[in-house]
Amino acid sequence: MQTRRVTGAMDARDVSFYFQVDSIEPSPWYPPRHDRQGEWLPPRPRGSNMLVRSGTTGLLFYGYGYGTGPQRVQRVPSGQIDQHSNHYKTFSVYMNQSAFWIFPGDATTSEVGTGQQQDSAEEYDEDTAEDGDELEGEDWSRMNFYYPTRNLEPRDAAYATFAGEDSRMRFQHREQLAWINRLLPDRYHAEHTHISTTGTRAFGGLIGELPMIIALIAFSVRSHRVVDALQYCMVRPRWRSHPRAPREGWTDQRGMVVRVFHNPQDLDTRSKLPDFERGQYGKMFDVLA
């Protein structure tokens, strides 16, 4: 993939950003961590999560949300932006047993939660892991959803996050199954699929924390196909599903850190990205995607 420098004036409607997708794995120097049922849990201590120096690790990309202009994700020089001053969000994500575990930060440089790999005082049962009440975004928590209630936001679209109230989507339509089946394991699917061509066709869709949505795309394929998937899926006017087989990249204990940065060429970028995440520019994934 050719590296190029992104230049040019920004259209007022454009939503663009820079991002990185770095692969991580548990350090072999720490004993595995499990809940009371024996299910694997991501490591907590500082240094217990390691960068994997392969695939997209260390690469910087320029991506597009809504607007006009080039449609494909581009690889750009790593020094094109000041990553510290333009940082927006960082998520660390692991997948295991068809569940996504999220830490809202860089788990390769930070202590997660208590920092203790084994803590007998805590109880990791299914209810605690899914409702997030006790984790409060400081520890690893399972991906879940909430549904927007503000004006201009799609109230039928699932907002992917780590602090929602729904463990699965409430709505989905059969014309959305292409991206649903590739981005989301069955445990996150709605209990019922709408099939009518009118009325319910507009129900459903996906929005959410931008690093999490990018991670879902990256997890959906094997590591050597991540760039191709990002370029295929993240296009305008609406992101779409790739043609690879469902579940191709869903490997237990696969991990990544996704960092998103503001576009310093856009003076309105700090308000655009939150609006884009909440669906004010439209759903990220919708019907026929």
If one compares 10 and 37, the residue with the highest pLDDT of the two is 37
Distance, CA of 117 to CA of 32 (rounded, Å) = 8
Single-letter residue type at 136: E
16-45 pLDDT tens trace: 999 999 999 999 999 999 999 999 999 999
Q: How are beta strands 60-64 and 74-76 bridged, if at all?
A: antiparallel
End-to-end CA distance of the chain: 25
| Residue burial 230-240, b: 16+ Cβ < 10 Å; e: rest | bbbbbebebbe
Distance, CA of 146 to CA of 168 (rounded, Å) = 9
Contact 66, 13 (CB under 8 A): yes
pTM: 0.89
Quote the strand ranges of the chain, DSSP E. Answer: 16-26, 33-34, 40-41, 49-51, 60-64, 74-76, 87-96, 99-103, 141-142, 144-146, 158-161, 206-208, 254-262
Distance, CA of 59 to CA of 97 (rounded, Å) = 28
Work out the pLDDT band at 2, boundaries 50, 70, 90.
low
Q: What is the pLDDT of residue 137?
A: 41
Work out the pLDDT band at 8, boundaries 50, 70, 90.
very low
Contact 43, 49 (CB under 8 A): yes
Question: Mean pLDDT over residues 96-104, rounded?
Answer: 97
Work out the pLDDT band at 117, boundaries 50, 70, 90.
confident
Of the listed ranges 151-160, 198-207, 212-221, the one predicted with least confidence: 198-207
Work out the pLDDT band at 194, boundaries 50, 70, 90.
confident
229-263 pLDDT tens trace: 999 999 877 799 999 999 999 999 999 999 999 99
Q: What is the pLDDT of residue 135?
A: 41
Q: How are beta strands 158-161 and 206-208 bridged, if at all?
A: parallel
- Is residue 145 helix, strand or coil? strand
Is residue 141's pLDDT more than 80? yes
| Cα 278 to Cα 149, 150, 163, 167, 284, distances in angstroms | 10, 9, 14, 18, 9
If one compares 13 and 118, the residue with the highest pLDDT of the two is 118
Work out the pLDDT band at 71, boundaries 50, 70, 90.
confident
Query: How many Cβ atoms from other residues are within 10 Å of residue 204's Cβ?
Result: 26
Distance, CA of 262 to CA of 271 (rounded, Å) = 10
If one compares 13 and 242, the residue with the highest pLDDT of the two is 242
Q: In the structure encoding, which two tokens stand for residue 182, read together?
A: 């590739």
Q: What is the pLDDT of residue 193?
A: 87
Is residue 133's pLDDT more than 60? no
Q: What is the pLDDT of residue 226?
A: 97
Work out the pLDDT band at 68, boundaries 50, 70, 90.
low
How far, rounded to the nearest angstrom, does the alpha carbon of residue 109 sit from its chain's CA centroid? 19
Contact 183, 250 (CB under 8 A): no
If one compares 115 and 183, the residue with the highest pLDDT of the two is 183
Q: Is 15 buried (19+), middle (13-18) or exposed (0-12) by CB count in 10 A?
A: buried
Backbone φ, ψ for residue 206 (5° rounding): -130, 130
Q: What is the pLDDT of residue 69?
A: 59
43-53 pLDDT tens trace: 999 999 999 99
Q: What is the pLDDT of residue 179?
A: 95
Question: Mean pLDDT over residues 94-110, rounded?
Answer: 97
Report for 70-79, 164-173, 197-206: range of highest mean pLDDT: 164-173
Helix ranges (DSSP H) in 21-133 = 126-131
